[in-house]
Structure 1
Amino acid sequence: MQDHRATIENFYAAFARLDADRMAMCYAEDAEFEDEVFHLRGREEVGGMWRMLCAATRDKGRDDWKLTWSDVAASGDAGQARWDAHYRFSATGRLVHNRISARFVFDHKGLIVRHHDRFDFWAWSRQALGTPGLLLGWTPMLRNKVRAQADANLRRFLARG
C-alpha cells in the first residue's frame, strides 16, 4: 500500500523550498488540478503552473515567502491537507496570506491524479489586488479576468519551454 500521507508531506516540503520539479514528480501524467484560478489537465500543465509560481516567487519575493501546512491525512486513495502561503503577488507587489484546503486522489502508483485546492477568492483578491479586489473580488467578472490573465501567463511560460 502506498503512503499517500508521505506524498503530501513531500509535496509541501518541496513547495516550501520552491522546488517545482520535485512537486511535479508527485503527479501522474494525466493529473488534474483545480483551484479558484486554474483548471489544468496533465502533468505538463500542472507542473508548469508550479514552475511558473515558484519562479515568480524566487525572482520577486523570496524574502517574503513562507509556506506552512497542517492537518495532513490520507485514507484509501484520498488525502487532504491545509496550507498557508505568505508571499508577494508578483503582478502588484502586494503581500498576501492565503489559506487553502487541499484534497487529493491518488493512483495505484501513489501519484496524484486529482488535486483540488479551495480558498476564499474575495479574501485573496483584497490582499493581492487592493481596492479593485475589495470592490469587485466577489464578482464573476473579476474572477474571470484573473483566470484569463493567469491562463495567458501560464501559456506564455509553457511556450518558453
Structure 2
Amino acid sequence: MNVPNMLTISRFVMIPLFLTLYFNDHAVIALLIVLLAGLTDLLDGYIARRSGQITQTGIMLDPLADKLMMLSVVVALVIGGEIPWSAAATMAFREVGMIVSAAIFHFRGRRTVPANVYGKLTTFVYYLAIVFLFLEVPGGVEIIWIAIAMSFVTSGVYLMKFRHLNRAT
C-alpha cells in the first residue's frame, strides 16, 4: 500500500475519533481532527500526483473517506443543534447519492472522475462553514447553505465529466 492510500485510510480512523471527542465536549479538539483530515486529503492527492502513485483504489477511497467524514460532521452538528435538519438532510442526500453512484459505477467497470477544482472549492467552503460553526462565529449556517448549493453544481459537473469519460472509453 502506498503513502497516499495510507493517508486516505487514516481519515477513516479519524471519524470515530472525531465523534468521540465531539460528543464528549471537546469540540475544539474535534475540529482539529476534522482539519487534520482535510490536510491529509490535500497531502494524499499531492503526493499521489507528484510521485505518480495514483491508483484506482485511491480514486475510489479518497472521496469515500471525505464524504464519510463530512457526513459524520453533519450528524454531530445536527445533534449538537448547530445546523438545521433541512441542511443536514440535503447534504446527506447528495453525499449518499454520490457514494452509491461511485460504488455502482466502480463495480460495473466504469471509470470514475477524479476530484477537480470545483470539488476542491466546494470542500474548502464546507470546511470554512465547519470552522465558523465549531468556533461559533456568526454566518456558519449561511456558509453551509452556500456550500450545499455549490455541491449540487459540482455534482452536475462530475456527472457531465463522467458521461464524457465513459463514452470515450
TM-score class, shorter: 0.3 to 0.5
Q: Which has the higher strand share?
A: 1
Q: TM-score, normalised by structure 1?
A: 0.36
Return the structure number with greater helix share.
2
